[in-house]
Structure 1
Amino acid sequence: MALTATFLLWLLLVAAYDFQQRRVPNWLVVIGTLLAATALVSGTGPLGLDWKAALLGGAAGFGFLLLFYATGLMGAGDVKFGAVLGLWVGLSAFIPIWIIASLLAFAHAVLWRYLERWPFSPRLTSMLAGPSRASESGTPLRRPRIVPYAAYLALATAVWMVWGRQS
C-alpha cells in the first residue's frame, strides 16, 4: 500500500512538473526507475508484476514513444517517462493508459489550436501553450512543446489505477 501511494505521488510530481515546465527532469525518471526496481525486487509493486512483464512494459513504453520522438512530436523526457511507466504497469496496462493519454493530449492540442485562432481567453491560450523558452544562444527553439504528454500519461495512469483495475 505504501509503495502504491509513493507511485501515485511520483505520478503527481511528473504531471505537475510537465504541466509547468513542459519537460520531465532526469532526476524524476531516475527516482521512478529506482522505485520500480525496488517494487520488483520486493514483490510489492502496485500491480504485482514479475520481471518479464515489467521489462516488456518498459520496452513497449520506450519503443512506442521513441517513434514519436524520432518524428519530433515529443521530447526525450516523455520517452524516458514512458519506459519507466511501462516498468511500473506492464504492457497490458500500458496500452489502455497510452490510448487514454493520447486522447487527452489530442484534446489539449485541439483546444490550444482553437484558442490560438480565436483568442477569447489569452490567459488560457498561454497556459495551454506552456512556458516560452529560448535556446542557450538566445534563438528560439525549433518546435515548442505545446502538449505535456508525460503529464497526460501520468494522469491516465492515476485514473486507470483508481478505476480501470476494478473492472
Structure 2
Amino acid sequence: MFWVIITLAIYYDWRYRRIPNWLVLYTLPLIWGWHYYQGGWPELKGSLLGWLVGLGLLILPFLVGGMGAGDVKFLAAIGAWAGGKVALYTFLAGAILGGLWLCGRLLWQQGWAGFKQTWSKAGARLFVGLFTGQWWKEETSQTDPTAIPYAIPLSLGYLLVTLWLGR
C-alpha cells in the first residue's frame, strides 16, 4: 500500500515540483487506522511518534526556505508508516542522495566555476541566516539549479533503509 503513495509522490514531485496534500495528509488516517488494527494503542503510538520524528527532521529546512512543505509531510508520512527510526535513517540517506544528485546536476549544468559560485551563494545565505536570523524564501522552479524533486532521494533513501533493516 505505501509504495503506491511513494510512487505518486515521486510522480507529482517530478512533474509539478510539489507533493499534493491529499496524498500525504489524507492517507494518514489510513496509516494510523492500519497500525491501530495491527497492534492497538501501542502500535498507533509508535506510528504517531514516527510521524513526529519525520515532521521534526525537515521542519527547520522548510522554515528557512530550503524545501517545500510537501517534502516535510512526505517524510512525516514515511515516519507514520515505518516508525521514527526508519524516518531518521531515511532522512540521512535522503540527504546524502539528494546532495550527491545536486552536486552532480550543478557540475553537469554549470561546470566547476558555476558549481563553486552556487555553493558560495548558498553558504552566504546560510551564514546570514544563522547570524542575523533573517531568512528569506525564494520560489523554486524547474529552472532553479538547486531545486530538485526531493521525493526521489527520500524514496530511494527509504528503499535503501528498508533493505538494510530487512523489512
2:134 matched residue in structure 1: none
Q: Distance in 1 between matches of 2:30 and 2:156?
A: 18
1:9 matched residue in structure 2: 4
Letter in structure 2 aligned against 1:52: K
2:83 counterpart SS class: helix
Q: How is 1:7-156 mapped onto 2 (pairs within 5 angstroms)?
A: 7-43=2-38, 50-118=43-111, 142-145=138-141, 146-156=147-157
Partners of 1:60 and 1:83 within 8 A in 2: yes
Q: Distance in 1 between matches of 2:158 and 2:38?
A: 20
Partners of 2:94 and 2:157 within 8 A in 1: yes
Partners of 1:26 and 1:77 within 8 A in 2: yes
1:165 aligns with 2:130: no
TM-score calculated relative to the size of structure 1? 0.72
1:43 counterpart SS class: helix
Partners of 1:15 and 1:155 within 8 A in 2: no
Letter in structure 2 aligned against 1:17: Y
1:13 counterpart SS class: helix
Deviation (angstroms), 1:156:
1.9
1:144 counterpart SS class: coil
Determine which structure has the larger helix proportion and give its number. Answer: 2
Alpha-carbon displacement from aligned partner over 1:44-84 (angstroms, at most 9, x marks no partner): 7xxxx712221111111111100000111000111111211
1:127 matched residue in structure 2: none
Deviation (angstroms), 1:85:
1.4
Q: Distance in 1 between matches of 2:29 and 2:159?
A: 19
Q: Describe the shift of the 1:104–1:71 C-alpha distance in structure 2 as closer, same or farther (beyond 3 A).
A: same
Partners of 2:36 and 2:43 within 8 A in 1: no
For structure 1, the residue ranges without an aligned partner over 5 or more in a row are: 1-5, 119-140
Tell me how large the CA RMSD over aligned residues is. 2.3
For structure 2, the residue ranges without an aligned partner over 5 or more in a row are: 112-136, 142-146
